Chain A
Amino acid sequence: MTLAHEMAMLNPMITATAVEATEFPDLARRFRVTGVPKTVVNDEIEILGGLPEEAFVEQTIGPMIERR
């Protein structure tokens, strides 16, 4: 979680929310949370499990940068 929050702090275009999955089962269902941590980016990119820092950064925002 901390990684996503650090990213939000560094760039105001990024918002990062830690969601407690058991308290919001509707969100967990909607984003098919079958394990934690699960990261969902712009409702479309889904990453299940933790990743090393640079891999996490690349998989979460890499496609947003290339898309320009």
Chain B
Amino acid sequence: MALLAPEDQEHLRRSFSEMTRRVHLIFVTQTIGCETCTQTRRILDELPGLSDRIVIDEVNLVLEAERAATYGIDRAPAIAVAFEDTKTSPDDQPSTMKTDAEAPRLLDSRIRFLGAPAGYEFVSLVHAILIAGGRTTTLSELSRQRVASVTVPVTMQVFTTPT
């Protein structure tokens, strides 16, 4: 059963249609001892049906810990947002150069979600997909300049609740 109402699906479909590159949601999950992993999977499963530019890549935290670690993730459920390098995107390549073996090169947006993206966090996830998908930032010129000046690693954790 769909979690989203038909009008919400339509609204999202329209928003996602503006994406200019394919976004991969790296979903880090585990089978045992993760109460909200199933809920997260159900939420994420709603998205690829709304846009062919959204792909879910499932990573098992136990079996593929190394892959999760490349995104700095050691807990589940978690989502890392990545996007296909448009230089190697299938859309930009002549069809003769496409091979199934050629995996798209993924660029890391460094956007993460820890916990199920339910309630308000779902809105944040949609927004994250849109900006990773190529939407122009809404930050002011001053903010952009300040952000661009950062030359040391910065880790930001924003704690929220679903409501």
Chain A residues close to B by CB (< 8 Å): 1-24, 27-28, 31, 33, 36-43, 53-54, 57-58, 60-62, 64-65, 67-68
Contacts and interface: CB of A to CB of B under 8 A. Distances in A.
Interface size of B as a range:
35 or more
A1 B138 CA distance: 14
Contacts of A2: 124, 127-128
A9 B131 CA distance: 8
Contacts of A64: 150, 152, 154
A13 B154 contact: yes
B85 to A, nearest CB: 13
- Top 3 A-B pairs ranked by shortest CB distance? A20-B115, A17-B112, A23-B115
Interface of B: 35-36, 72, 75, 108-118, 121, 124, 127-128, 131-132, 137-140, 142-144, 146-162
Given A17-B114, A24-B75, A54 B140 contact: yes
A16 B162 contact: no
A39 B154 contact: no
A67 B109 contact: no
Nearest to B132: A9
14 contacts: A1-B158, A15-B112, A16-B110, A16-B112, A18-B160, A19-B157, A20-B161, A21-B161, A28-B159, A36-B160, A54-B142, A60-B154, A64-B152, A68-B152
Contacts of A67: 152
A19 to B, nearest CB: 5
A7 B156 contact: yes
Contact of B156 (A33, A60, A62, A68): A60
Contacts of B109: 5, 8-9
Nearest to B128: A5
A68 B115 contact: no
Nearest to A45: B156
Nearest to B36: A23
Contacts of B113: 17-18, 20
Given A39-B159, A60-B156, A61-B146, 11 more contacts: A9-B109, A16-B111, A17-B157, A17-B158, A18-B124, A23-B36, A27-B114, A31-B157, A37-B158, A37-B159, A61-B154
